[in-house]
Chains A and B, each alone.
Chain A
């Protein structure tokens, strides 16, 4: 076991995949010599060479399209899109091509591409470095969709994603790269070494895609979240002294309905927290799924705490971000309802 932050854990996952399988290649803007603007691919080109770890032109559509072609020709590409906010030039290649290739060719062709991309706010990135686009991709059929909330899951899920024969979009909440974050920007940063999930096995392991995790068991209320908001939600529940059951979704597609439903059937109350905008957000899918299966056990309406339905504003980052106070107020409402 080693202490790792999320950057090191993701780096270790790619290192293991590159070392184990000669068909794995890593490509993206600044990922090679420089090691990525967030240092996630640091040292990989030095170790595996310029034919395994490729710097690319600034062309997200080209990166994903080339990864598809490589995947069809026997490679297992891991493409980095420098910021999730910059993924849209690749949207057609992801939605119309990568996600549907297996389906439209009746299994004759497929491309085991993993696309990694940093997402989320909290780093003063403004509207072009802060977006959480998971719902936009969750609506697409044929691509798995993952977001870890800690170094242990990051490494295990990324190895699983690379080894998966289906395409996987792997969203990395960049505010968590260097440490867990409870939503209070005024507090000094906390490193991952203070967190149990900063403890990461050295070798190969996987965290299964399609499995949510109960990160804290409890009986009062189910709080469903993912990415940065897992930590915010836990802190908010703790601040109220609630015996909350906190669930980290981890995989959006395919969704672990069983874990979510079992929890809400037990607690009878549910709050969903995500950083992405509310309207048409992934929370809507969660609420629909849960009310279909838990309606008769629910003691209160399910609530959502989300980003506002505006672009992420530079000057109002912390008014936009659904922080502890907003989550705590919603928890109180759901607890007092019914």
Chain B
């Protein structure tokens, strides 16, 4: 007998009070996925969008064809960047709790995603991040004080007080202005890459969105334009499992991987262990080389876990088990790279602890300096006249008039 249709609702694996369940995460052994030539047609490597590219194994060894064989000093720099990201995030969360900044978003557990990609790219490549890739900033040489002044909306704020905290940008760092609206940067990165191709330059663009935001139409605009024009762009979906309270199944992750959307557009999809620095580095390197050879875009899904709250306005214990993060099967990206370096005899628990102390001091010193330029609660404030600037390149008469009205209000 035929049955009436029944609405399917994605099943969330575990809610508060239930045991964490990651049986849905399809794993491959480290080193178990082949690394094809970078100009291979998408249709010939569809399995890469289903399997999981991993380099670091359970014993912290780097194995298999995706091992990027990086020098020790590069690995040590990478570990430092990741540790700095974590120390910075922890400290900025505390300042938010103290009322010094209005809002913050941590990237804890996802540090490898940004650090590895930025290190694998050239400094001239253009980056279009979402709000959770602060690691890109550190690799691209941002000063801690400079980032903090943005968080503080103070007199040295690069955004002149106009944006929420973490919505940074950097012209010398080639980091596009972050938008609070989701997924908008994804097709913009494709346009940037199209322009690079039009101009005959070999810079590539890279963009990041969450798996939750991949539900927006802009995700599909990005893939379509990237496919049609074979744009030199790397499109990264950071699958950190949670879009605020909704599990990745609500973004379509239940039926297939996010990387698998690439082959449908004729774009290779790489599904990558996002907590494995070496795997993220290698995948980015592969995609960048492909783009620079004129073979077009790559969609990379970075499988990771948002260990922190979505933002300081969020309370994850309301919607997921408390012990979820520690049970995440791909571990912690900092611990894994640290383990690898220790195995190589190039790092130690002692050096690790010392470095944390140094980074904490560095962040504290930067905070002390940034605070002298003003905080939400005290110190110098930006000139209010700035509110009316940059709406247009030249200020039109009605804004000149409104600026004058506000000045008079103050006197």
Contact = CB atoms under 8 A, between A and B. Distances in A.
Whether both chains belong to one complex is answered with yes
A34 B398 contact: no
B182 interface: yes
Interface string A309-338: 111011110011000011001000000000
Contacts of B182: 58, 86
B22 interface: no
B244 A59 contact: no
Interface in A16-69: 29-30, 33-34, 37, 50-51, 54-62
Contact of B409 (A61, A86, A313, A326): A326
Interface stretch (A124-132, A175-183, A230-238, A266-274): A124-132
A60 B212 CA distance: 12
Interface of B is mostly: loop
Interface in A54-101: 54-62, 85-86, 88-89
B162 A127 contact: yes
A58 B402 contact: no
A103 interface: no
A314 B313 contact: no
Interface residues of B, number: 49
A109 interface: no
A100 to B, nearest CB: 20
B217 A315 contact: no
B382 interface: yes
B216 interface: yes
Interface stretch (B7-15, B34-42, B62-70, B351-359): B7-15
A60 B159 CA distance: 27
B406 interface: yes
Interface string B151-179: 00100010111111001000000000001
B122 interface: no
A314 B9 contact: no
B319 A34 contact: yes
Contacts of B251: 57-58
Nearest to A279: B398
| Listed residue (A34, A279, A325) with the most chain B CB atoms within 10 angstroms of its CB | A34
Interface string B355-399: 000000000000000000000000001101011100100000011
B387 A128 contact: no
A51 B406 CA distance: 51
A86 B103 CA distance: 19
A36 B254 CA distance: 22
Nearest to A61: B217
Contact of A319 (B103, B314, B387): B387
B164 A320 contact: no
B195 to A, nearest CB: 24
B402 A308 contact: yes
Given A57-B252, A128-B180, A311 B215 contact: no
Interface centre among B163, B179, B382, B399 (most CB of A within 10 A): B163
A57 B319 CA distance: 16
Contacts of A127: 162-164, 180
A50 B318 contact: no
Interface string A286-311: 00000000000000000000001111
Contact of B157 (A29, A54, A55, A315): A315
B212 A58 contact: yes
Interface residues of A, number: 41
A314 B161 contact: yes
Contacts of B246: 29-30, 33-34, 55, 57-58
Contact of A37 (B179, B313, B382, B391): B313
B162 A126 contact: yes
Contact of A309 (B181, B250, B398): B398
B215 A33 contact: no
A120 to B, nearest CB: 16
Contact of B217 (A37, A50, A59, A308): A59
B236 interface: no
Interface string B241-267: 001111000111000000000000000
B213 interface: yes
B358 to A, nearest CB: 32
B215 A37 contact: no
Interface in B122-161: 153, 157, 159-161
Nearest to A88: B181
B164 A128 contact: yes
B181 A51 contact: no
Contacts of B188: none
A309 B215 contact: no
Nearest to B216: A59
A313 B399 contact: no
Contacts of B212: 57-58
B388 A310 contact: yes
B216 A58 contact: yes
Nearest to A50: B9
A33 B384 contact: no
Contacts of B313: 37
A310 B161 CA distance: 13
9 contacts: A29-B244, A34-B319, A58-B246, A85-B181, A86-B181, A127-B163, A128-B179, A128-B181, A315-B381
Given A34-B318, A127-B164, A326-B409, 8 more contacts: A58-B216, A61-B217, A128-B179, A309-B391, A313-B162, A314-B102, A315-B160, A316-B386
8 tightest A-B CB contacts, nearest first: A315-B161, A128-B180, A34-B245, A57-B215, A126-B164, A315-B153, A59-B215, A124-B102
Interface of A: 29-30, 33-34, 37, 50-51, 54-62, 85-86, 88-89, 124-129, 278-279, 308-311, 313-316, 319-320, 325-326, 329
